[in-house]
């Protein structure tokens, strides 16, 4: 079973996650204080302050990076080069492969691409290649 760990401030990531779990039946866990991390999985976060990693995401990764197979981030293309930059920073800082980036709450194409990446690149058992970024 695939586990998704997500951080959402405005609801965009949460909407993305809910669409993914409706299609797949995967387990989703919102990052919050006291979150139990029962299984390894994939991180989905958002980019804040024009290119920063959210505080809860940092705290989560400080404690659980060894259980994270990939990182995905939402963002806004209006931010130009800072679009989804949180994913790049998490990937670099915690040595976790970047799966993809999507805008706001994602399109159905984004959702299907994410599902495909997780199903075919990771096989639920180990980290994929650092060169995974196909977004």
pLDDT at 51: 83
- Tokens matching residue 118: 């997780």
Rg (CA), the chain: 13
Tell me the mean pLDDT in the region 113-127: 74
The size of the chain, in residues, is: 135
The predicted model scores a pTM of 0.88
pLDDT of residue 79: 84
DSSP secondary-structure letter at 123? T
Distance between CA 89 and CA 100 in Å, rounded?
Answer: 13
pLDDT above 50: residue 130: no
Render pLDDT for 7-62 as a digit per residue (tens, 0 to 9): 999 999 999 999 999 999 999 999 998 898 989 999 999 998 878 899 999 999 99
Q: What percent of the chain has pLDDT over 70?
A: 90
Q: Which domains does the chain have, with CATH numbers?
A: 3-122 (3.40.50.360)
Query: Across all residues in the chain, what is the average pLDDT?
Result: 88
């Amino acid at each position: 079973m695939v586990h998704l760990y997500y951080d959402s401030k405005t609801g965009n990531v949460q909407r993305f996650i809910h669409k993914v779990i409706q299609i797949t039946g995967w387990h989703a866990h919102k990052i919050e204080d006291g979150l139990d991390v029962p299984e390894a999985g994939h991180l989905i976060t958002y980019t804040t302050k024009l290119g920063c990693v959210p505080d809860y995401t940092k705290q989560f990764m400080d404690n659980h990076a060894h259980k994270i197979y990939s990182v995905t981030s939402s963002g806004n293309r209006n931010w130009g080069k800072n679009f989804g930059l949180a994913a790049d920073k998490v990937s670099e800082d915690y040595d976790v492969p970047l799966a993809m980036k999507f805008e706001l709450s994602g399109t159905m194409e984004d959702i299907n691409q994410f599902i495909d990446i997780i199903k075919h690149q990771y096989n639920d058992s180990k980290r994929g290649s650092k060169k995974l970024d196909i977004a």
